[in-house]
Amino acid sequence: MGVFTDLEIEYDLEIIEEFFSHYTFMIEALEPLIIGLEKKELYKNNIDEIFRIFHNIKSSSAYLKIVEINKIVTLGEEVLEECRKVDGKASDSLVAWLLLLSDQLQVYKEDLEKDREEMSPTNHNIIKVPTKYLA
């Protein structure tokens, strides 16, 4: 049995399908929002939107006990909370790190989609949180 099958056993199929549908939609929206952080005029709106996406994924993944997803969006949310306090153009390191998180969330989507036995290992570079948020 795979990860998705395990979720189906523990939770109602409708809940799992709704999570997966929303999760897919939200992670597909991430890349353009992250790249938009390079433009000063988009920074504030995009940071808030990315934060909202991470917060929503954090809540639903916590409910479903999908630990791997929950851990990285929680970390992302914590960094974005700090980013929301400043305004300007995002640093290259922040954009690269957020894209790394986005890529990892995509890997987890594929793990669920393919009903893999377990979730893929988390990219170890995710722990290298940027210290400079603005360019």
pLDDT computed for residue 18 by the predictor: 95
Confidence of residue 135 (pLDDT cuts 50, 70, 90): confident
Confidence of residue 98 (pLDDT cuts 50, 70, 90): very high
Mean pLDDT of the chain: 95
| pLDDT digits 0-9 by tens, 20-70 | 999 999 999 999 999 999 999 999 999 999 999 999 999 999 999 999 999
Query: How far apart are the C-alpha atoms of 7 and 31, rounded to whole Å?
Result: 27
Choose between 4 and 46: higher pLDDT: 46
Query: How far apart are the C-alpha atoms of 98 and 5, rounded to whole Å?
Result: 29
Q: Are 77 and 58 in contact (CB under 8 A)?
A: yes
Domain ranges of the chain: 3-127
pLDDT computed for residue 1 by the predictor: 79
pLDDT over 90 (residue 86) = yes
Q: Whole-prediction pTM value?
A: 0.94
List, in order, residues 6 or more apart from 14 with CB less than 8 Å away.
none
Q: Which 3 state secondary structure label does DSSP give 24? A: helix
Q: Apex CA 89: angle with CA 88 and CA 94, to 5°? A: 115
For 3-127, CATH number?
1.20.120
